[in-house]
């Protein structure tokens, strides 16, 4: 799974893909999610972390699409499409 996003300006290339990996979860409390943005050719442009806690963590449930929507909203990104049942782009080594 990955998300196609409305193009955002990143250096050196614009990003069009949001990937998520490694949700470190403290059951009943929070989840820390690693994310990255990629250009159209698959080159990683930037990485970071996002934490779900409180109401956001409680709303997560079992559908990982929520992680993408929450992360995109937190970063000010617009999701165009959630791509399911497809291997996600490989995460950058610093996200693993």
pLDDT digits (tens, 9 = 90+) for 33-87: 999 999 998 899 999 999 999 999 999 988 889 999 999 999 999 999 999 987 7
Q: Residue 15: pLDDT above 80?
A: yes
Question: What residue ranges do the domains of the chain occupy?
Answer: 2-83
23 or 84, which is more confident?
84
Q: Residue 96: pLDDT above 60?
A: no
Q: How far apart are CA 51 and CA 38, in angstroms?
A: 20
Measuring CA to CA, how many Å separate 76 from each of 28, 29, 48, 58, 71? 26, 24, 14, 21, 9
What's the predicted TM-score (pTM) here? Answer: 0.87
């Amino acid at each position: 799974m990955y998300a196609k996003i409305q193009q955002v300006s990143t250096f050196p290339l614009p990003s069009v893909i949001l990937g998520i990996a490694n949700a470190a979860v403290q059951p009943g409390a929070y989840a820390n999610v690693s994310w990255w943005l990629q250009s159209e050719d698959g080159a990683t442009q930037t990485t970071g972390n996002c934490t779900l806690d409180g109401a956001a963590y409680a709303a997560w449930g079992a559908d990982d699409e929520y992680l993408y929507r929450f992360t995109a909203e937190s970063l000010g990104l617009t999701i165009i499409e959630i791509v399911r049942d497809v291997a996600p782009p490989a995460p950058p080594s610093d996200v693993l």
